[in-house]
Structure 1
Amino acid sequence: MKLKWLAILLFNLAGCVLLAQPKNVLGYRIEGDSVVFTFNAADYSKYTDESNGERVDFDDFNIEEVALSGDFNMWSRDKWIMKKVNDNIYELRKKLTDFTDQFSWEFKFVINGTYWAEPYKETSNTTPAVDENGQNLHVYNLRVYTARASEDGNTTFKLKGFPNAKEVVLTGSFNRWDEHLFKMHQTDDGWIITLQINPGEYEYKFIVDGNWMEDPNNPAKRINEYGGYNSIINVKIPVVFKLHGYQDANKVVLSGSFNGWNEKELKMTKVDDGWEIAILLSGGKHHYKYIVDNEWMVDPDNTVKEFDGHGNINSVKMVK
């Protein structure tokens, strides 16, 4: 009887970027706004039988089904079944916006619902697997990061100087302080890397030939648990607010938690079908209202509303 193979992928995501992701990253790739999880049987030689903890070789069974499992689906063995590409390769495509509530995720592949594919320790995106009590299981999970290197990314990091350094790495909360993933590129006046990161506040550092340092050109920093400092960056994206109608109004202002409920700062522009404005916002939840000729109102086109701590109801904008 063929063993049923469910590949569980413990997937550790993480939202900064440059060029392509390293070649030794295993189990996923980023394509535009999607993450493509890929199981290739050629990448694994050992599997753990969940029923008894024994290690088995690939030749000991046939693949019937592969599933992706990880933090993002409560380690389910049957919710995210992968699509067969050929006899050895299975894939599953998901939107990056599905993974925005933390910066990285752990994952693994499970074969036939029972056999976990064990990645090699040397793979760059592995992390030691632990049980619910934090005990080391002496195997490794894979992890995937929402932050990725891209020439067209939204955040560029620069470190001036250090012409004699052999290697400079960018690390931070956006990739769980990985010490190898984001290698910077040397330029005439220093080092540079561009990342695509989800909006939000992040801490980061540079590693210059093994020595950790904060960004000397960024005054924003926060003390860390080691008594040193981490540099801070707040990644924002443009967000458009639009109020339909009210073309007879003389003035419309956008006000919200993002500007301290300022009543004058964000004057909206009249357009053919209403009023609009584009502003930069960081990731997370933002409360807002419109002020139409000095009259406050919630957004009539937005059904998402919440009460604030003072009993007022506000419209809510989520930025991912």
Structure 2
Amino acid sequence: MGRGNHPHFRWPRGSKPIRIKSETGTVEFQKEYTLLLSEAKRGIAQVSAKYTMSGLIESYQQSERWNALSDRTQKDYQKVLDFWSEKTGARDIRRFERKHIIAAMDANKDAVRFANYVMQVARVLFEHSIDLGWRKDNPAQGVKSLKMPKAKRLDREPWPAEKIKAFRARYAFETRERLLFELCLGSGQRIGDVLEMRWSDIEGDAIRVVQNKTGKGLLVPLTSDLRSALVSHRSINAASRRQSVFVLTNARRSGPWSYRGASQAIRNAREAVGALKWDIHSLRHAAATELYEVGCDIPMIMAVTGMSEKMVRHYTARANQFTLASKAQLKREK
């Protein structure tokens, strides 16, 4: 505050000075000073609120970056955005440093995949803050992912033929478990895409898929087992008082079967047939393996599953190794 009978008010330091009209030492001066100080603090608080993590998340979810994400990716991101909002919502994002990102990852180190996702989503958020002009750098850039402990690494294997046979023997075509099983195995698609399939996606003797993760559009011919399961459930749906547009519907037939509900049902089924070692995603692995074992080449497997060449090679590596080893041993015996 400047000197004289009519000093200037300046707060915080570096802001534009405001001349106080009342003379110093008067009641009016004190009232005017108190009002100016209150308004300045309120203004600072409003500006600061914009730069909080909650403010950044809100801005990001209104951006084209967010709108360009698939529904599935948005759901995955939301879990991490909720974490950042809950833990650091009121913090000024301009004060975030690399160490804060690492600390958040360390706090979730028992769940390595989530911990790495915390960093990856933070990197996206701070990239958005740079676009907004709120920061000049990205504190999450260059932070290394945590490595999964060897003891916890899941060496996913395809469902073996005997377990597929056991599942089919226990669950009739009319059950939701069997329909989900045949959709995953027969189409070779991810469970997230399978749960979103609608009756209108069936075109003749094939089913149309648009993969959430990749955006690929596929028209996949039905296998005989999948065809039988679909015929059974189309009849059930037609006879129901409440008909669902979704192939896999919830118990009330008011919407799609939830991921949690479907996963739990399949887990119970896996336990019932002694297949806990093989999860539902392993059915996609099994689909690629079955195709390879009947002589399909990589482009053919890619056409059914929508996998990249790299993933096809990865998923069929075990079967390929055994095929090559068998040929080698036959040559050896000659």
Q: TM over 0.5, yes or no?
A: no
TM-score range, shorter chain: under 0.3
Q: Look at both structures and tell me which one has the larger radius of gyration over its CA atoms.
A: 2
Richer in helix (by share) = 2
Query: TM (normalized to structure 1)?
Result: 0.23
Q: TM-score, normalised by structure 2?
A: 0.23
Higher relative contact order (CA 8 A, sep 6+): 1
